[in-house]
Amino acid sequence: MVQNININKANLDEFEIFDVRCPFEWKEGVLENAKLVCLYDDRGFLNENFINEFKEKLENNKKIAFVCKAGQRSFTAAKMVEENLNLDSVNLDGGMSSYKGKLKK
């Protein structure tokens, strides 16, 4: 079962982070050390190579976390990885929108 967790600067280093947004969304900000693995293409279609691209970029023994803009795509990505690869992962609750809001406080 995919867990939703709150993100903050203190716990970022615990995770290998995969950002599932589209490349043009990276201009809005990126979490440190995040790896881009797009869940959807620029036209809004599911990236059929998502699982393979994720496996190619997976490299260490940290917990796996997914992030997007608001949390829906990252939840979907985490669920796909769980179902297809039997790997536990977490969804960064509220995505980049939530994280940026916390930094402003």
Q: pLDDT per residue over 8-18, tens digit each?
A: 778 888 999 99
Residue 83, phi then psi, degrees to nearest 5: -75, -35
Q: Find how far residue 77's CA is from the centre of its chain.
A: 7
pLDDT tens digit sequence for 38-93: 999 888 899 999 999 999 999 988 999 999 999 999 999 999 999 999 999 999 98
Sheet holding 3-5, edge to edge: 3-5, 89-92, 63-67, 15-19, 35-36
Q: Which domains does the chain have, with CATH numbers?
A: 3-98 (3.40.250.10)
pTM: 0.91
